Amino acid sequence: MKLAARLARGLRAGDCLALVGELGSGKTTFVKGLAYGLGFKKKDYVSSPTFVILKNYPARIPIYHFDVYRLSTLNEFQGIGLEEFIGSQGICVIEWADKLEGLLPPDHVRIEFSAPRDTVRRIVVRHPSKGRGKRKNP
């Protein structure tokens, strides 16, 4: 959560974060920290939107939290309206984003999660090689 809160300081409207990792690797907990870092004080309200696909958190910059775990076809991906949110006035955070590889914007930030042990999480943040102007690094 602390890493996500720090990362939040460098984000701006229109950013897209692609979260990738196995079940239980920390993706949703990361989103809690991100929401908190963006001023959304109800971090206990942040939960995985697996069954509703999208949750909206009204933070300093709105957060559109997608979970595409249950989706599997191109029609399903296109049916959730993701393209309406990417590049909008909020920040898109997409869990299981590896399922959307061809649909993500070229300047998305990929965040990879792994859990080598029960109490240890490994998080790798990969910034795009070509961004939209200067990005403030966290």
**Predicted confidence (pLDDT) per residue in 86-121, tens digit:** 888 999 999 999 988 888 899 999 999 998 888 889
> Does 12 fall in a domain?
yes
What distance in Å separates the CA atoms of residue 44 and residue 47, rounded to the nearest whole number?
7
Quickly state the pLDDT bin for 137 (edges 50, 70, 90).
very low
pLDDT of residue 138: 44
pLDDT of residue 46: 85
> Does 42 fall in a domain?
yes
pLDDT of residue 92: 95
What distance in Å separates the CA atoms of residue 24 and residue 35, rounded to the nearest whole number?
19
User: Domain of 120: which CATH number?
Assistant: 3.40.50.300
Question: Could you report how far apart the first and last alpha carbons of the chain are, in Å?
Answer: 14
Residue 107: both structure tokens together: 């300047």
> Does 85 fall in a domain?
yes
Q: Is the pLDDT of residue 136 over 50?
A: no
List, for residues 46-65, the tens digit of each pLDDT value. 887 777 888 999 999 999 99
Between β-strands 120-126 and 16-20, what pairing exists: parallel, antiparallel or unpaired?
A: unpaired
Instruction: Say which residue, 2 or 72, is predicted with more confidence.
Output: 2
Q: In what order do the strands lie in the sheet with 91-95?
A: 54-57, 63-67, 91-95, 16-20, 109-117, 120-126
List, for residues 20-33, the tens digit of each pLDDT value. 999 989 999 999 99
Quote the number of domains for the chain. Answer: 1
Domain range holding 95?
A: 2-126
> Does 131 fall in a domain?
no
> Does 137 fall in a domain?
no
> Does 68 fall in a domain?
yes
> Does 132 fall in a domain?
no
> Does 34 fall in a domain?
yes
